[in-house]
């Protein structure tokens, strides 16, 4: 029995020695375990797949569409052949004739400039004041926050229907019952329609402005305003000498975008009147939108020429305002 156990131990030892010897001989020849792809390569593939669709969408719906629009401005549509052909500058010549001999385009230009001026003079200061009031949590700030953000939450069509009910039905009824005076609705009357639409556009436009301005004001260091209060600064002085200079880059962004809006802002006219608005309320934005929405194939080159002309005017004007604001505006401290 003991001899059998001794032979078993000797055999196990021999097998173990053989395994050790073979391991030492072939260990250096074992190939390293290489991965199929590195982490950097996997990250690049994931990033490429992630941004492929947005880039394709931008290339098609923005770059390709705008390039095609520029090309269309120099073409005309032949009804007989059903194809577009090169027309040179004939579309632009016709547009200049429309501007020189049409009261519609003159009124449209005036309305667009008035809309920008009213937004600049009334809309921007009021949005800044409301933003400062809400950020400083003065009495009733919660109420103003809800009222000013409400138009941004409710559907635009619902807001338009409610507003039309007040100005076209409730207002004439109020004037009749209280003052015994028969008056037309504010939107129905051509003399007050444009002013009413302007008021509505400023009212519903507070939401975005207040949101952005409030965020910029909230980033002002509390230590700065607290030090000013220790020196006896009033709220009005704080707004004028601290808040406005420090958030001026944000204000200038709205002012620059507003310049481009001269040719794109339609003042919600399509929501109010669809394509049947009176000429007295036309703006460039509404003119292009309404005409494009119901345009035929033959009218696309003319509308493309309009868009290109507006771009040629708006682009240098926008960059000029940007340079002017950078030169004249106060220097804001980064915080």
In a domain, 18, yes or no: no
Q: What's the Cα-to-Cα distance from 62 to each of 9, 82, 157, 310, rounded to whole Å?
A: 82, 26, 27, 17
Give the range among 57-61, 203-207, 270-274 with minimum mean pLDDT: 203-207
In a domain, 39, yes or no: no
In a domain, 51, yes or no: no
**Residue 82: count of CB within 10 angstroms of its CB:** 8
Q: Residues 212-263: pLDDT tens digits?
A: 898 899 888 888 888 888 888 888 899 998 999 999 989 998 889 888 889 8
Residue 270 belongs to what domain range? 95-328
Residues facing residue 86 across a β-bridge: 75
In a domain, 318, yes or no: yes
Residue 197: the pLDDT is 94
HSE (side-chain half, CA atoms, 13 Å) at 72: 20
Count of domains for the chain: 1
* Cβ burial, residue 167 (10 Å; 0-12/13-18/19+): buried
Is the CB of residue 306 less than 8 Å from the CB of residue 292? no
Query: Exposure pattern of 291-306 as b/e (b: 16+ CB <10 Å)?
Result: eeeeeeeeebbbbbbb
* Stated pTM of the model: 0.76
H or E segment to which residue 76 belongs = strand 75-78
Residue 5: the pLDDT is 53
H or E segment to which residue 83 belongs = strand 83-86
Tell me, what CATH number does 299's domain have? Answer: 1.10.3720.10
User: Model confidence at 154, in pLDDT bands (50, 70, 90)?
Assistant: confident
Average pLDDT over the chain reads: 84
- Indicate the DSSP class of residue 154: S
In a domain, 15, yes or no: no
Q: Cα(238)–Cα(330) distance, rounded to whole angstroms? A: 15
In a domain, 88, yes or no: no
Residue 33: the pLDDT is 52
In a domain, 210, yes or no: yes
In a domain, 48, yes or no: no
Q: Cα(239)–Cα(234) distance, rounded to whole angstroms? A: 9
pLDDT of residue 133 exceeding 80, the answer is yes
């Amino acid at each position: 029995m003991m001899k059998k156990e001794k032979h078993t131990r000797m055999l196990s030892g021999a097998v173990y020695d053989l395994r050790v010897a073979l391991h030492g001989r072939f260990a250096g020849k074992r190939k390293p375990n290489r991965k199929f792809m590195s982490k950097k390569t996997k990250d690049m593939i994931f990033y490429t797949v992630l941004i492929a669709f947005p880039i394709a969408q931008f290339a098609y719906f923005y770059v390709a569409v705008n390039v095609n629009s520029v090309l269309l401005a120099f073409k005309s549509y032949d009804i007989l052949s059903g194809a577009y052909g090169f027309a040179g500058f004939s579309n632009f010549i016709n547009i200049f004739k429309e501007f020189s001999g049409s009261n519609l385009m003159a009124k449209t230009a005036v309305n667009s400039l008035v809309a920008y001026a009213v937004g600049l003079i009334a809309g921007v200061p009021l949005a800044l004041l409301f933003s400062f009031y809400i950020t400083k949590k003065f009495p009733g700030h919660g109420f103003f926050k809800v009222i000013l953000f409400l138009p941004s939450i409710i559907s635009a069509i619902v807001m338009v229907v409610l507003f039309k009910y007040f100005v076209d039905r409730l207002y004439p009824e109020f004037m009749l019952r209280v003052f015994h005076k028969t008056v037309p609705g504010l939107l129905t009357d051509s003399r007050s329609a444009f002013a009413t639409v302007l008021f509505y556009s400023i009212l519903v436009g507070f939401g975005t402005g207040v949101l952005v301005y409030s965020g910029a004001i909230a980033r002002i260091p509390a230590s700065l305003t607290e030090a000013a209060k220790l020196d006896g600064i009033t709220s009005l002085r704080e707004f004028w000498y601290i808040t406005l200079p420090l958030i001026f880059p944000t204000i200038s962004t709205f002012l620059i975008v507003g310049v481009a809006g001269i040719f794109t802002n339609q003042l919600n006219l399509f929501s109010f009147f669809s394509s049947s608005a009176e000429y007295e309320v036309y703006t460039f934005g509404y003119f292009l939108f309404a005409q494009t929405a119901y345009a035929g194939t033959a009218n696309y080159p003319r509308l493309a020429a309009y868009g290109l002309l507006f771009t040629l005017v708006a682009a240098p004007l926008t960059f000029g305002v940007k340079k002017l604001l950078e030169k004249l505006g106060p220097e804001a401290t980064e915080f």
